[in-house]
Amino acid sequence: MRLILLTAGVTLVAALGFMIDSQSRMPVPPREEIPTEQYGIFAPGRIEGATPPIELRPRLDGRIDELLVEDGQLVEQGELLLQLDDRQYQQEIALAAAKLNLAEAELKRLLNGAHDQEKLEAAALCRAKLAELECAELAWKRIDELHESKAISEQEADNQRMQVAALKAEVEAARARQRRLEAPARDDEIQMANARIQAAKAQLELAKVRLERTKLLAPSSGRILKVDVELGELTGPESAQPAVVLVDTSTFRVRAFVEELDAPRLKLGMNATVTADGLPNQQLIGRISRLSPRMSRKQLWSDRPTERYDTKTREVWLELEDAGELVVGLRVDVTIDAGLPDAAPDDPPEAGSAEPDVPAAPRLPDIVQSFLAE
């Protein structure tokens, strides 16, 4: 019985060893190449114009007097979109212009000097005061003689003497006024007049700026996406909703959001294909033209069952080729061709390279000997 069992065991072990040896010598079939598309990076995205949507608000508070655009309208750069009530600012310009004219007239009068009539009047007044002074001085001489002889009182003499002194002062004032009217303008007076002119000009320019801000102009050519105001409505820079939303549609691009696991693999110039449910049987070709240098919170979702909602994304901008006419804001699916990944350690060797050493399976005598030893 022991001999039978031993013979059966040796036969079983020998068969097992032969099978292992045969399998270890079978050639390894080459691994099938996996299509490049399996290594593409998927990301949701949306269609944008040459610029993101531009929210426009008037820079002054006011009531809308004219509304000149509507949704979907094409506009040129500098075109008037809406006009606020500007009657107050028109009057401010008129007031500032009047002050400027007044300041310039004052400077001109300062440079021209006094009128000839004023000069003649000052000269005549000076001569009149001189005449009064001469008369008072003659009277003082007579009163002084009488005062010495005690013919008049001390009070009368003092009064006459004070009258002469007062007339002398009036003569000096008249002469000073005459010289002032005949003298040219001083440098400091001219500087003050010029400063008043500059201040008036600045006030006029400020009034013009305020008037210009009653107009909402298109900063660039593009299409009106939305008009969120009505004629006669109050609006301003602090309004909750923009008055007009504009986008430059001269060219179209795609903004995609790549999740953080694939974000480090992105490079400028990578090719991508863009599809959308709203564009059946149409595939757009694009190329990465810009990469965000940071990760941010996810802004767009694809609603796929395997999608993660708590991850961060990296923004990617794709320039489209022959995009044609597209709808701004249309959600699209982007597949970026990231190429094949680096070869894994278990990849087969390239053609022409030496096969790696494969350890041979244990031979039959070794197995039997090990079994008998046990």
As given in the structure block, the two tokens for residue 353 are 């390279």
Give the separation between CA 197 and CA 203, rounded to whole angstroms: 10
Asked if residue 283 has pLDDT above 50, the reply is yes
pTM of the model as a whole: 0.59
Asked if residue 347 has pLDDT above 50, the reply is no
What's the burial of 55, exposed, middle or buried (CB within 10 Å: 0-12/13-18/19+)?
Answer: middle
The answer to whether the CB of 84 falls within 8 A of the CB of 276 is: no
Q: Tell me how many degrees the CA angle 225-290-48 measures, rounded to the nearest 5.
A: 15
Output the pLDDT for position 272. 94
Q: What is the CA radius of gyration of the chain?
A: 51
Q: Looking at 21-25, 112-116, 256-260, which range is the least confident one?
A: 21-25
Q: Write the single-letter amino acid at 158.
A: D
| pLDDT (tens digit per residue) in 87-106 | 999 999 999 999 999 999 99
Exposure string of 275-293, with b = 16+ CB inside 10 Å and e = fewer, is: ebeebeeeebebebeeebe
Containing H/E element for 3? helix 2-24
Give the separation between CA 65 and CA 215, rounded to whole angstroms: 10
Output the pLDDT for position 122. 84
Exposure string of 172-199, with b = 16+ CB inside 10 Å and e = fewer, is: eebbebbeebeeeeeeeeeeebeebbee
| pLDDT (tens digit per residue) in 112-155 | 877 778 878 888 888 888 888 888 888 878 787 777 777 777 78
